[in-house]
Structure 1
Amino acid sequence: MKATLYFRGSLTSCNYDCPYCPFSKNVDTRATLARDRDHVMQFVDWVRGRAGEGDRLSVFFNPYGEALIHRWYREAITELSHLDHIEKVAIQTNLSAKLDWTEKLNRDKAAFWVTYHPGQTKEADFLAQCLELHRRNIPFSVGSVGVRSAFGAIRSLRRALLDDVYLWVNAYKDKKDYYSDEDLIFLRAIDPLFDYNVSDYDSMGKPCETGHSVFYVQGPGIVKRCYKDRQVIGHLYRDGLEGLSKRRACGMKCCDCYIGYIHMPELKLDRVYGDKLLERIASPAVLVGTQISPS
């Protein structure tokens, strides 16, 4: 079976304190971290055990917090990247951790979804980390939340990043009608695909690959269609992929998040991102001529 698994463990701690994030500077207890480690190891054991079953799996770690400062996530990604039946393993990260461990990664399968948080790190330090990934030939995209207070930092980062690094912007949606026409012009110049993200898609009753070939796995193995849908559809370790897989229309009124709407067939975003849909790296042809001017 060909499937994509989003995994989120028990981690709720981060070394950053972004004002829009509920997990900023939260500190997990030793017990919580131990539980998270156990869940990650259990998940990796299950994936490893699927070898020889005919599966082709892609895995995306999207933790509530920063995962790569913890050894068990680094070890998990490294191991998964070398499994024959894994097509891709990616992780969302603020890239604050040291990168020497990536020397052991299979670069043909590993990828990073990197988030930039102005005010939490110096641009020069963040760029140095990005350049290190680039030097090591590890695929990655870079993104930031499009709050107005970050516009200057986002512009500066776009100028400083290598031209072949895609910089995406997540629309700030906590306030209705947040962006002016001028704001939208600026953000489209930074990210030519911004309109896909700023939109909210009517999804109720519409086809979606979530629950069929895409699954959201929570710590102990609880499975939902996607992270915004609270309905539990089964248990990974008890039901298996075959028992979980079923065509399910979306039960949400709207879909407004990248890791959700990319799985709506009607949007055909595989044509935009190709085989890098998971790590959010747009096809170069889509981005031609979209660099923002230095003015």
Structure 2
Amino acid sequence: MKVTIYFRGSISSCNYDCPYCPFSKNTDSQETLAKDRLQVQTFVDWVRKQADRGHQLSVFFNPYGEGLTHRWYREALVELSHMQHVDKVAIQTNLSAKLDWACDLNPATAAFWVTYHPGQTEEERFLQQCRKLYVQKIPFSVGCVGVKSAFHSISSIRKALPKDVYMWVNAYKDRPDYYSAEDEAFLTQIDPYFVLNALDYDSMGKPCRAGQTVFYVQGDGRVKRCYKDRQVIGNLYKDGLERLSQERPCRMKQCDCYIGYIHMEGQPFDPIYGDRVLERIAIL
């Protein structure tokens, strides 16, 4: 089977305190950190064994918080990137952690989904981190939440990044009618696919790869078809991919987040992102 797995362990801590994020400046206990470390190691062990079952895997780490400040996430990325049956391993990160370890990654399979948070880090320091990835030819995208207070920073970062680095903008959806026509035009200059992200997609009963070839796995192995659908469909370690995989039409009224709607059938995203959909790198 060719499968995409989103993995989220027990950590819910971050070294940033963004006002729009519920995990800002959270600090996990040593017990939680130890639990998360074991969960990541157990998952990596499971992935290693899937070579014998003939599975090809793509893995995306999207922790509640920042993972790369923890050694076990860095080690997991390096190890997974060198497994022959792993097509892709990526992580969502603010890129604040040191990158001296990144030279051990396999750039053919490793990738970064990088989020820039104005006010949480100096622009030049963030750009220096991006340059380190760029020089090592490790694929990455850069993005930002499209709050109006960040517009100047979004424009500045876009100008400073290499032209072949794709920059995306997440639409701010907490307030209806938040953007004017001028705002949308500005953000579309930054991200030509911003308007697609600003939409909420009617999804109830519609076909989706989630639950069939895409799975959202929690640290203890519980599997959900989608990160927003709370129904547990099985356990990764007890059931295995073959038993978990079924056609599962969406049970949610709408899908409003990139990591959800990109897996809906009949949407325009496959031609836009191709085999870089996981790390959100558009074909420019």
TM bucket (normalised to shorter chain) is: over 0.9
> After superposition, what is the alpha-carbon deviation per residue over 1:42-81, rounded to whole angstroms, capped at 9, x for unaligned?
1001001111211010000000000000000000010000
Partner of 1:221: 221
Aligned residue in 1 for 2:101: 101
| Aligned-partner Cα distance in 1 for 2:169–2:268 | 20
Aligned to 1:289: none
Per-residue CA deviation, residues 203-238 of structure 1 (Å, 9 max, x unaligned), is 000000000000000010000011111111100000
Which residue matches 1:144?
Answer: 144
- Corresponding residue for residue 74 of structure 1: 74
CA distance in 1, matches of 2:159, 2:137: 21
What CA distance in whole angstroms lies between the structure 2 residues aligned with 1:110 and 1:229? 28
Match of 1:171 in 2: 171
CA distance in 2, matches of 1:262, 1:141: 16
Aligned to 1:117: 117
Aligned to 1:269: 269
What is the CA distance between 1:196 and its match in structure 2? 1.1
In the TM superposition, residue 268 of structure 1 has moved relative to its aligned partner by 3.4
CA drift of 1:274 comes to 1.0
Any residues of structure 2 matched to 1:1-295 within 5 Å, and which?
A: 1-284=1-284
Look up the SS of the partner of 1:265 in the other structure.
Answer: coil
Equivalent AA in structure 1 for residue 254 of structure 2? C
Q: Identity across aligned pairs (percent)? A: 68
Q: In structure 2, the residue corresponding to 1:207 is in which secondary structure?
A: coil
* Deviation of the 1:2 alpha carbon: 0.5
Residues 230-270 of structure 1: CA deviation (Å, up to 9, x unaligned): 11110000000001000000000000100000001110311
d(CA) in 2 for partners of 1:132, 1:84: 25
Please state whether the residue corresponding to 1:39 is helix, strand or coil.
helix
Partners of 1:158 and 1:87 in 2: CA distance: 29
For the residues of structure 1 that align with 2:243 and 2:53, how far apart are their CA atoms? 14
Q: Give the TM-score, by structure 2 length.
A: 0.99
Question: What is the distance in 2 between the residues matched to 1:247 and 1:268?
Answer: 20
Deviation per residue, 1:78-108 (Å, 9 max, x gap):
0000111100000000000111101111110
Distance 1:197 1:143 in 2: 12
CA deviations on 1:149-174 (whole Å, 9 max, x unpaired) are 00010011111111011110000011
Moved segments of 4+, more than 3 Å: none
* Number of equivalences: 284
Structure 2: runs of 5+ lacking an equivalent? none
The code of the aligned residue for 1:237 comes to Y
Q: What do you get for the CA RMSD once the two structures are aligned?
A: 0.6
How far is the alpha carbon of 1:176 from its aligned partner?
Answer: 1.1
AA at the equivalent of 2:176: K
AA at the equivalent of 1:32: T
Read off the aligned partner of 1:244 and give its amino acid letter. L
Deviation (angstroms), 1:135: 0.3
For 2:176 and 2:245, locate their aligned partners in 1 and report how far apart those are by CA, in whole Å.
36
